[in-house]
Amino acid sequence: MSASDWEKFLAEGRQTVEIVRKGLRNRGINAGESIMTDFGTDEDIPVYSSDGERKLFWISVKTVTVSVSNFSILPNGYRGWMCGEVESKQWVNPPSAIIWYCPTTRLAWGTIPPRRLSKRWFIFPDRWGTVEDKRKTKILGQATYVYPSWLVLPEHVISKQEIIAHIQRLMRSN
């Protein structure tokens, strides 16, 4: 696949972040633009104090490429909702919330990650590099492997309304 195909793939994630950012801003949340960290990764949506002087926390946004109409029911073959690579700074400096968004159905849902890794969440794949990411492999034209990720089970997922209320409470308490 060409570089333009890879750029389309990356643009999909950026578009999802922008949809979520706009929704948060419409609800009075001071949601900033994505920033790069010292870890070489991005914070999808940093949230700032109402005066914009302090970064309070950040929100991780995940695009779901399958059609989801009920976030409590995992699609066939899913073991949980992916929330981030274990090697990521996400677990050094955890976000306040993770939001998943399905562009096909426009459904959003979320979770509040623990301060420390939860033993109730599990790593997939069980060993590094054992599962090929077929979508990225097809786009890049070379074998690409899935990183170990923490997956969130449906019983730890909350609705869009609940995750927004959580973010609003965090803003008021800061």
Tell me, what's the pLDDT at 122? 62
pLDDT at 34 over 70: yes
Give the per-residue pLDDT at 89. Answer: 65
pLDDT, position 21 = 97
Q: Average of pLDDT values for 103-131?
A: 74
Our count of domains for the chain comes to: 1
* Cα 94 to Cα 27: distance, rounded to the nearest angstrom: 23
pLDDT of residue 129: 58
Q: What is the mean pLDDT of the chain?
A: 84
Identify the domain containing residue 92 by its residue range.
3-173
User: Does position 119 have pLDDT exceeding 70, yes or no?
Assistant: no
The string of pLDDT tens digits covering residues 71-93 is 999 999 888 898 876 666 666 67
The pTM of this model reads 0.82
